[in-house]
A and B are shown apart, each in its own frame.
Chain A
């Protein structure tokens, strides 16, 4: 461990590399966390299936680029982006009417446990369909190297796509009719209903939009990292970390903490060793919750 810290001090390119990787991966955490904050803020559903939506999106990109499944129709995984978004939007819509609709007005543990069940179903279905192996959708892009510093082109492309996607979602939320309806419902569902907004429709759209965002994030992750049926839960926890630290409806906060989490994970993984990768995610979660409690304690309040 000390050796690794010494490496960081002595070779300035190594921390730079970690910082870059952290930012590239953190950008995708922002997408996932934004989707969670959207669903949480609008309909008060804590979606623990968030990470499994991500993994599902990743598998869509992997399948459409895999000749084993698509034969001659196999295409570049980056084309999975629109496919996954459309598919996941539909999937989210169906899940809303099957499950989420019935838990929106119930207490919070109901939604948490119901989506936890959903997460198990998705992970196990993917495991049954594609097996437990770790997969990667190969983009075939080159890797640029300058000395010790190496940057895969796909990471830059994914970063650019993330920024474009995030900007599109923000613009959509701000200027479109549906975006306005979503924000109105988030502020006061009853008042929105009185004003003639079909809140049921808004909820379904919000949940489906979240699934689509997660699907897009998954496509990018399948190309720059790896996917596996059971990797969903860490992504859900990461989204919770970011949203808990930033608070709801705080976009700058989500961006800061999303990038921060990506960087912390990269540095932590380098210093402590790769076997701590998962442990770091949960330890950051526990730390964030402790810090939140200390903050709230000053006002003699619990973290609700």
Chain B
């Protein structure tokens, strides 16, 4: 499949703008980093929810798990975690630049691998469930994880863990984390684009359309479902590790396992953009995040009511999302393109 120069120019423009963002918008770097994270959330939710038809409400579990794994690795390499998180503060913790960056790198890697392992275990628990049971079951696991972390004193319990302090200046820190979020989101996008173009993409679409038939056609559905879950968990785990360090403080209910905020944002953003498409989640995340950040503070506490109302309106009246709507309106531009050279008889 060849890429037209127009599309290539579009990709180039987005990349260039994102690379230059720290110079162009230095005051909004944190928000832009969160925007990349949101894009990643929506993309990873769409693997299961959009492409495979398994609507999970508990993907946030991997975000929080990644955050905690990386925190434990980063602290545990140099200190006793139990003493470090002790609220009475028996040890004076400080990290040299070398320690910090070793810990950060290893922490992110451990988060990605750990979450992949978790996804396989988690998958065994929930993949026998369908439809509403799957959604409720995953929601249950995510809520349980948050509650249980809050009672586990070794990792700080409800009080949370302060992450290692960045050894250099705040401007450099903001830039570093912006680029980390940016690279991670781009890698996720490219990886998913490649993955969906392979047999894997067709297999999970077949599972979405009719799981029994897919199985009858010889697709090993459980294996594909587990892989899809593992891919989502791998990237979400890394994003959790980066986000934890970017925020600088981990707490179980609001930061690590925020089921009611990030956990539901993932779903809303994907549905807003159009689920089951590659660009839909990206578009939805950008629209949602920009609208949220520009209006949120002016609504004086009513923003959460507005969020709920947005979910209802989105799901009831506009379920196809922006791209789905565009595909209906301009089928020749946004509709499903059949590559005629590859169909039987060229028709």
Contacts and interface: CB of A to CB of B under 8 A. Distances in A.
A276 B148 CA distance: 8
B264 interface: yes
Given A128-B302, A276-B151, A285-B136, A113 B129 contact: no
A303 B130 contact: yes
Contact of B140 (A114, A285, A302): A285
Contacts of A103: 315-316
Contacts of A276: 147, 151
A293 interface: yes
Interface stretch (A116-124, A158-166, A187-195): A116-124
Interface string B23-65: 0000000000000000000000000000000010100000000
A152 interface: no
A120 B309 CA distance: 8
A92 to B, nearest CB: 15
Interface residues of B, number: 41
Interface in B245-287: 260, 264, 267, 271
Contact of B137 (A118, A120, A273, A289): A289
Interface residues of A, number: 45
B305 interface: yes
Interface of A, secondary structure class, is helix
Given A110-B319, A237-B140, A286-B141, A304 B131 contact: yes
Contacts of A106: 319
A99 B316 contact: yes
Contacts of B135: 109, 112
Nearest to B49: A109
Q: Which of B141, B144, B150, B316: most chain A CB closer than 10 A?
A: B316
A279 to B, nearest CB: 4
Contacts of B55: 109, 112-113
A296 interface: yes
A280 to B, nearest CB: 9
B308 A117 contact: yes
Q: In the complex, which of the residues A107, A240, A279 has the most CB atoms of chain B within 10 Å of its own CB atom?
A: A279
Contacts of A303: 128-130, 133
A219 B126 CA distance: 35
Contacts of B271: 113
Contact of B130 (A112, A125, A302): A302
Contact of A289 (B133, B311, B312): B133
Given A116-B264, A121-B309, A289-B140, A110 B151 contact: no
B338 to A, nearest CB: 26
A135 interface: no
B56 to A, nearest CB: 10
Contacts of B10: none
Nearest to A276: B151
Given A46-B132, A282-B140, A303-B133, A121 B147 contact: no
B169 interface: no
22 contacts: A103-B315, A110-B315, A112-B132, A113-B315, A114-B311, A118-B312, A120-B260, A120-B305, A120-B307, A121-B309, A124-B304, A124-B307, A237-B140, A237-B143, A282-B143, A283-B144, A286-B137, A289-B126, A303-B128, A303-B129, A303-B130, A304-B133
Kindly list the 5 A-B residue pairs having the minimum CB-CB distance in the complex, ordered from nearest: A117-B311, A120-B308, A121-B308, A293-B128, A279-B147
Interface of A: 46, 99, 102-103, 106-110, 112-114, 116-122, 124-125, 127-128, 233, 237, 240, 244, 273, 275-276, 278-279, 282-283, 285-286, 289-290, 292-293, 296-297, 302-304
